[in-house]
């Protein structure tokens, strides 16, 4: 074929252009992806920021093909991704806060609970929430954290340690289900049933309602697809409890097994906003600890202002701890 007969730049790379448009539409219309088909909508929303990695791949292909149409089509996914996540690329933290809160799924099979407790105490958090507390490790955490935190409560597998007095503490029924796809732990790890609590922390600025929760796990299963039934029921129940909360100032600490982009958490995220989104630096992924790809450990607030939000160094758990500074 003679050089003059080659397709022009607008006719080359049409497949790449189509893929770029498809990528942009996928991110733009992610809320329209149905969940009834193997939880596909929640699966896409869990890893939604990572879809941006396809952009440089498609751009490299467009440049290699010298395709003007593919480069132009990439404007759609670039614009959509920046609209969704561009605000997370800058550091929005501010110095100073009235209270520091932290949360950590310590891991039921954590090989070093004593070291984890010491690391968390060294963080300086005023209020510390722990999730996935195994019964055999509870005493270790209570002993190691006693000096730094004179007040604490444990309800089932979740607990709260505080430098400030606690009152009106009670478990929160989030209707955790036990079934063929429920949480699976090593045979020698004993887990209690309750996975959420509510308490009041007495601060210099008044009462602060604090919730600690560990929602049900999700599973990728050949029969069920992205199985989230237990977590979704937990999220609805927790959302109802928060809706009934009379205190204007609320903090939710916990492993929600989902990102704030996931529609399944809408009953919660419609009432509370993310400290990481408001005052964090970048995405703050927390799981898995060795190579975090999703932020499923959350600090959500209402009636107080997040000043900063960050992840703490890894412990013996497969989750990273998270912390936030809040003010009135």
Bridge partners (DSSP) listed for residue 300: 252, 274
Cα dist from 269 to 92, 156, 311, whole Å: 20, 24, 20
Virtual torsion, Cα 119, 122, 125, 127, nearest 10 deg: 60
φ/ψ of 253, rounded to 5, equals -120, 130
Do you find a cis peptide bond into 288, omega within 30 degrees of 0?
A: yes
Q: Computed from CA positions of residues 221, 223, 229, 232, in that sequence, does the dihedral angle turn out positive or negative?
A: positive
Q: Rounded distance, CA 265 to CA 261, Å?
A: 8
Tell me the residue length of the chain.
Answer: 328
Kindly give the confidence (pLDDT) of every residue in the chain, 328 residues in length, as a single tens digit, with 9 standing for 90 and above.
455 556 788 988 999 999 999 999 999 999 999 998 889 999 999 999 999 999 999 999 999 999 999 999 999 999 999 999 999 999 999 999 999 999 999 999 999 999 999 999 999 999 999 999 999 999 999 999 999 999 999 999 999 999 999 999 999 999 755 444 445 555 454 455 799 999 999 999 999 999 999 999 998 877 778 899 999 999 999 999 999 999 999 999 999 999 999 999 999 999 999 999 999 989 999 999 999 999 999 999 999 999 999 999 999 999 999 999 999 9
Q: pLDDT tens, 33-65?
A: 999 888 999 999 999 999 999 999 999 999 999
**Which of 85, 75, 158, 161 is closest to 118 using CA atoms?**
161
Task: Classify 88 as helix, strand or coil.
Answer: helix
* 49/213 Cα distance (integer angstroms): 25
How far does CA 83 lie from the centroid of its chain?
A: 20
The architecture (CATH level 2) of 99-327 comes to 4-Layer Sandwich (3.60)
């Amino acid at each position: 074929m003679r050089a003059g007969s080659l397709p022009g730049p607008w006719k080359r790379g049409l497949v790449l252009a189509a893929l770029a448009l498809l990528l942009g539409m996928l991110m733009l219309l992610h809320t329209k992806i149905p969940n009834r088909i193997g939880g596909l909508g929640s699966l896409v929303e869990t890893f939604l920021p990572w879809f941006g990695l396809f952009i440089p791949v498609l751009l490299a292909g467009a440049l290699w093909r010298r395709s003007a149409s593919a480069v132009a089509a990439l404007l759609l996914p670039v614009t959509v991704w920046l609209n969704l996540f561009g605000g997370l690329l800058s550091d929005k933290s501010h110095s100073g806060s009235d209270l520091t809160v932290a949360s950590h799924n310590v891991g039921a099979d954590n090989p070093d609970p004593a070291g984890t407790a010491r690391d968390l105490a060294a963080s300086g958090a005023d209020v510390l929430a722990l999730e996935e507390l195994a019964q055999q490790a509870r005493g270790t955490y209570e002993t190691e954290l006693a000096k730094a935190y004179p007040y604490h409560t444990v309800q089932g597998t979740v607990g709260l340690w505080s430098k400030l007095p606690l009152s009106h503490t009670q478990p929160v029924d989030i209707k955790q289900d036990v079934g063929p796809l429920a949480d699976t732990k090593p045979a020698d790890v004993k887990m209690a049933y309750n996975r959420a609590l509510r308490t009041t922390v007495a601060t210099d600025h008044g009462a602060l309602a604090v919730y600690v929760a560990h929602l049900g796990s999700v599973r990728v299963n050949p029969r069920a697809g992205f199985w989230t039934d237990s977590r979704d029921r937990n999220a609805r129940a927790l959302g109802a409890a928060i809706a009934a909360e009379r205190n204007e100032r609320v903090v939710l600490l916990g492993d929600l097994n989902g990102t704030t982009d996931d529609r399944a958490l809408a009953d919660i995220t419609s009432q509370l906003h993310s400290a990481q989104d408001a005052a964090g630096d970048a995405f703050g992924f927390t799981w898995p600890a060795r190579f975090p790809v999703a932020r499923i450990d959350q600090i959500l607030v209402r009636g107080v202002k997040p000043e900063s939000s960050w992840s703490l160094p890894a412990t013996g758990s497969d989750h990273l701890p998270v912390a936030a500074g809040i003010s009135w």
